[in-house]
A and B are shown apart, each in its own frame.
Chain A
Amino acid sequence: MRGAAQAMPDDPLTSNYDAIVVGSGATGGWAAKRLSEAGLNVALLEAGREVTSREFTEHKPQFQLKYRSFSGAGEWRKTRPIQTQCYACTEYNYDWFVNDLENPYSTPADKPFSWQRLRILGGRTLCWGRQSYRLSDLDLKAASFDGYGQDWPISYQDLAPFYDIVEDYVGISGASEGNPALPDGRFLPPMKMTCGEVHFRESMSKNFRRTVTIGRSAIITQDHNGRSACHYCGTCERGCTSYSYFSSPFTTVKDALNTGKCRLLTNAIVAQVEMDAATNRATGVTFVDGATRQTKTIRGKVVILCAQALESTRILMNSATGTHAGGLGNSSGLLGRGLMDHSTGAGASGELPQFQDAPDPYSGPHRANGIYVIRYRNTSKATKHPGFLRGYGFQGSAGAVFNQGAAGFGAAYKQAVKTGTYRISLGAFGESLARNENFVSIDPKLKDKWGIPALHISMTHGENERALHEDAAESAAEMLEAAGAKNIELRSTVAEPGMAIHELGTARMGLDRSSSVTDSYCQLHDVENVFAMDGACFVSSGCQNPTLTMMAITVRACDRLVDRFKKHEI
């Protein structure tokens, strides 16, 4: 990767780059790719180290691990008490996740927030869930439909061409359904459903007129853009030897470096944006070299924050000056406000005894994907729910699974485990309303290992989320029962904020600078050469997994930026 940067000067800090991109994950990778391919000189700063495919362990059997990733075992868990709340942080890959002791944040005692982070080249794209859904105008113009909050300053028509670009490059497998609540995209062939899922889809269509589709996933089902089709080993969160799921180090970042116009600096922990008070323009960023702990400054014409919603806002807040009290972009007083994370936790599960299939053998194909029930609440006057605003979608699956929980012992137990049980489950992802009382700020006392002031995160899910999830649990059970499920169990809890790992908002976009932080191209209203191109700019959350939209927004903003460079407006 580094070879492509040979045309750059030896000391990366001597250049004045066209653009400094902070963060190398889903959006940072796109920003670096888009800008460098357009001919701009880019510095890409990543707080973590590089990663190579030699670290991938998706094929490593569990027994080769010392503690087989059993809960509670391993010294590493002591340094990652928060990260281990994420299913993907295991004995296989914990080193990709941050050390919680070195990267602290605070919360009110009664408002826990689980902030799960990776600091490594590619960030969370190494471990992400890969579910990729478009927002619709039902989401982008939600305030006009129900009166709550603000509309986005962009419509689906504005975003659609950029969804196309991202999907064409990333490779999203999925099926078109013609459901306006979840716009279709440019899909690779869909993964297959199990018999139980096909049955459930037919039952939902017949009994409820609801759409069940295969998960739209950033896992390629045919060779695509130099990457190989999925081989169905099923453990994507440990890396992928064939690069079959989208991960920025092996796609966008690689492309950017191949241009020879992009310089990658790893272990560069950005502390703040540097400002020129005379011109009210950013001149670069200051970062701590994670290896040497030296503080360094790098100069650029524009600064693009793609560090992850809360990290980008933290950098803006830590960049406060006399002119920009409370942080860059905070003239509205809204920087840090409106934190969202999809509400999760509710759903239902049961057995489908009418299916007798045996579980797929351990070495058989495993699909790292499931089914998706498209939102059906509050999509029109006819589906308006009296108890809550907005809606939810379900992710789930049905299939035969080994039954280690079988009763008894001895030979009969061994056979029962192998015979398995045919289960179906649904889990809701609900919209998280943007409420200004959910916020982040700088903790006045707490600093990270590198001396950078840490965040204080204050968020709870509200009554709307609670009512939404109660309905989701009831509705899930009703749908399972209609499909013939037995032994149904409900979950109506709302999980702790952060558990969806979809942090959004805190630097929302808008047309009116008094009620937003950035414009529709992610540019701060207050500083014309600083951008927040990640989940921070979200105005509302929808209920769909957000990464696809973040990438589309980034491409749109970068194309606009390139155009301005060409016109010498920057």
Chain B
Amino acid sequence: MNRRELIRNSLLTIGAAATLHPSVEALVFPAGDNAWLELSRPDWKPVFLSAQQNELLISLSEALIPATDTPGAKAAFVNRFLDLLLSVLPSGAQQEFLSSLQWFDAGAQQRYKAGFASLSSEEANDFLSLVAWPHTEYRWGERDAEFDGHAHFEKVKSWVAAAYYSSPIGLQELGWDGWAARGIFEGCEHQPGEHQDAQ
């Protein structure tokens, strides 16, 4: 048994002694009340987004954070959490998000004559590559202007990333292994002066 396991076991003992419950709440997932279970229901339906907006968000979020060797935004139910969140936010925030979301559908229609959810993965990547970086548009006879697609990209991406990396799948991506007890913070183990090359 290594030191980390020892600490985890001792925490379980402490926790059990400290609570009236036979099991220690929230030390190990899943335990206790858990909003994730509600999002995972097979009969889930959106409470804020329309069916079209929901499909658009699923496609867009998966294009932003796709399944690779780990699951992506769709599997993390990013759309479901954002639907819940949007349902309780002030109307200004709701409209701001929907405006950015719909911009992608309008842009896809303009470029590919199809909604974003209908694009092939190559087309979606091509479209996102256009908006993923700050860029200015040159218009004949006018001053250069900021391409507003990038602002919409950043807005939707920040929401999607926040929802993804707070989901169980996103946390696993960052090294969450189901445990909360962490071990010992080892810190720097170099000898004094060994960082001089870092000046």
How far does the alpha carbon of A65 sit from the alpha carbon of B176 in the complex, in Å? Answer: 17
Chain B, interface size category, equals 35 or more
Residues of B within 8 A of A242 (CB): 11, 14
- A interface residues, how many (CB within 8 angstroms): 61
B85 in contact with A361 (CB, 8 Å): no
Instruction: Say whether B128 contacts A202, CB under 8 Å.
Output: no
**A433–B81 Cα gap in the complex (Å)?**
47
B binding-site residues for A, Cβ under 8 Å:
7, 10-11, 14-15, 18-21, 24-27, 29-30, 32-36, 38, 63-66, 68, 70, 81, 84-85, 88-90, 93, 125, 128, 132-133, 153, 157, 161-162, 165-168, 171, 173-188, 190, 192-193, 195-199
* Chain A residues closer than 8 Å to B36, beta-carbon distance: 63-64
A386 within 8 A of B: no
Quick check: A61 and B29 within 8 Å, CB to CB? Answer: yes
Could you tell me if B183 and A361 are in contact, using CB atoms closer than 8 angstroms? no
> Does A211 reach chain B (CB closer than 8 Å)?
no
- 7 additional A-B pairs beyond A66-B35, A414-B70, beta carbons within 8 Å, are A59-B26, A64-B35, A192-B188, A407-B132, A407-B133, A409-B63, A409-B153
Distance A494 CA – B31 CA, assembled complex (angstroms):
43
A363 at the interface (CB under 8 A from B): yes
What is the CA–CA distance of A74 and B88 in the complex, to the nearest angstrom? 7
A334 to chain B, nearest CB (A): 44
Cα separation A61 to B27 with both chains bound (whole Å): 9
B168 to chain A, nearest CB (A): 6
Q: Tell whether, in the assembled complex, residue A64 and residue B68 are in contact, meaning their CB atoms are under 8 Å apart.
A: no
Closest residue of chain B to A202 (Cβ to Cβ) is B195
**Interface pairs (27), CB distance under 8 Å:** A53-B19, A57-B26, A59-B180, A59-B181, A60-B25, A60-B180, A63-B36, A63-B166, A65-B35, A66-B84, A68-B35, A73-B85, A73-B89, A74-B88, A192-B186, A232-B182, A361-B177, A363-B175, A363-B176, A404-B161, A409-B64, A409-B157, A414-B65, A414-B70, A414-B173, A417-B165, A484-B198
Which of A60, A233, A241, A408 touches B14 (beta carbons < 8 Å)? A241
Segment with Cβ contacts to B, from A154-162, A316-324, A364-372: A364-372
The answer to whether A241 touches B18, judged by C-beta atoms less than 8 angstroms apart, is yes
7 tightest A-B CB contacts, nearest first:
A361-B175, A192-B187, A59-B180, A199-B195, A362-B176, A60-B26, A365-B182
Task: Let me know if B165 and A54 touch, CB within 8 A.
Answer: no
B183 touches A203 (CB 8 A): no
Give residues of chain A (84-130) contacting chain B, Cβ–Cβ below 8 Å: none
Known: A61-B176, A63-B166, A63-B167. A364 touches B14 (CB 8 A): no
A60 to B26, CA, bound (A): 5
**0/1 interface trace, chain A 64-84, chain B, CB 8 Å (1 if under):** 111110101111000000000
Pick from B33, B173, B182, B190: contact of A195, CB under 8 Å: B190
B81 to chain A, nearest CB (A): 7
CA distance A355 to B35 in the complex (A): 38
Cα(A246)–Cα(B174), bound, Å: 30
Chain B residues near A359 (CB, 8 Å)? 174
CA distance A367 to B21 in the complex (A): 28
Is A411's beta carbon under 8 Å from chain B?
A: yes
Partner of B198, one of A194, A355, A408, A413: A355
CB of A54 to closest CB in B, whole Å: 5
* Beta-carbon contact of A413 and B88 below 8 Å: no
Q: Is the CB of A410 within 8 A of B125?
A: yes
Contact of B195 among A72, A198, A360, A361 (CB under 8 A): A198
- Report which of B33, B132, B174 forms a contact with A361, defined as CB distance below 8 A: B174
Residue numbers in B under 8 Å from A411 (CB-CB): 66, 68
State A417–B64 Cα separation when bound (angstroms): 13
**CB-contacts of A181-212 with B (<8 A):** 191-195, 197-199, 202-203
Q: Which of A61, A367, A407 contacts B171 (CB 8 A)?
A: A61
> How far, in whole Å, are A194 and B185 apart by their CA atoms in the complex?
9
Whether A365 lies near B184 (C-beta < 8 A) is: yes
Which one, B89, B133, B168, contacts A72 given CB within 8 A?
B89
Contact A365–B174 (Cβ < 8 Å): no
How far is A73 from B63 in the complex, measured between Cα atoms in Å? 26
What is the minimal beta-carbon distance from A469 to any residue of chain B, in angstroms?
A: 28
Name which of B27, B175, B197 has the most chain A CB atoms within 10 A of its CB.
Answer: B175
Contact B166 A62 (CB under 8 A): yes
Q: Are B183 and A364 in contact, CB atoms less than 8 angstroms apart?
A: yes
CB distance from B3 to the nearest CB of A (A): 11
Counting CB contacts under 8 A, is A402 at the interface? yes
Q: Which residue of B lies closest to A64 (CB)?
A: B34
Query: CB-CB < 8 A to B133: which residues of A?
Result: 407-408
Chain B contacts for A191, CB-based, 8 A = 185, 187
Task: Find out whether the CB atom of B88 lies under 8 angstroms from the CB atom of A363.
Answer: no
- Residues in B whose Cβ lies below 8 Å from that of A193: 187-188
In the complex, chain B residues whose CB is within 8 Å of the CB of A72:
89-90, 93
B162 to A404, Cβ gap below 8 A? yes
- A70 & B85 in contact (Cβ 8 Å cutoff): yes
A458 to chain B, nearest CB (A): 31
